[in-house]
Amino acid sequence: MKKSFIIHKPTNPLLESFVDYYFYVDISVKELALKDEYILPFPRITFGYFFDHPFLVTNNNINESQEIDMIISKISTNKITVKPISDRVRVIGAHVRPYALAALTETNISTLPWLIDTISLFKDKAKGFREKINNCKNPEEMFVEVDNIFFETQLPDKDLSTIINAVELIENNRGNIEITKVANTIGVSDRTLRNHFYKHVGCSPKEYINLLKLKQSVNQMKNEDESLTTITYAQNYSDQAHFTNSVKTITGYSPKEIQKKITDFRFLQF
């Protein structure tokens, strides 16, 4: 039986520090519970190619919509909704680490638009990728091509050690670490750390920590039978009011509302 959703880890070991996983989706819109969905702000960069089934993507912060077939969404706290505009959802994509885009381009990530046109950024490499993917016979062949494009496009001489070490330290501490301690541990000033985050991730260290803690909280809501009070203290918030305000500021929803809607957030984020 054909699977509608497939998740695949990178086959090249050198990419494991940059790519969380690849995914492939192929499902009729009629089979979906919703016709559009809200994408929770997420501490990962998402790449997606939608074949001949484009999506309408809306940034509700600036009331701007774009019809897309191949895009990269950078890390941000923007409130984004996506909607299929054909009869099918078919997409090959990847969730990659926050600094992965900086390994593929010399452009300052903070200067890039909220939705990155892959063709504009990578030009012939992106066009070649599209041709190869369209010639693949199955998802397994597609995953190999995605592996290849990530591996071939990396800038091998670019030193990302500062931002990689900072992100790893934050994630190893589940976001429960002061920014000054992160900077001191990796041997830079607070200002230098902020500059590295804006240039190589596209957001501030504080914004990244908030997104990481949101992801962890939603994971708990979805996968563990725990109360919001338990989740509040597991994520090291001082009280439930602080937790609620933090989540609602980023998403527009309270934790209680997210708990009720959790099955509607489908896009392989959690």
Each residue's pLDDT tens digit, 193-215? 999 999 999 999 999 999 999 99
Set out the domains of the chain in order of their start, with CATH numbers. 5-153 (2.60.120.10), 161-264 (1.10.10.60)
Each residue's pLDDT tens digit, 148-162? 888 777 666 789 999
Low-confidence ranges of the chain (pLDDT < 70): 1-3, 33-35, 154-156, 263-270
Task: Please state, in angstroms and rounded to a whole number, the distance separating the CA atoms of residues 200 and 52.
Answer: 32
Partners of 49 in the β-ladder: 70, 92
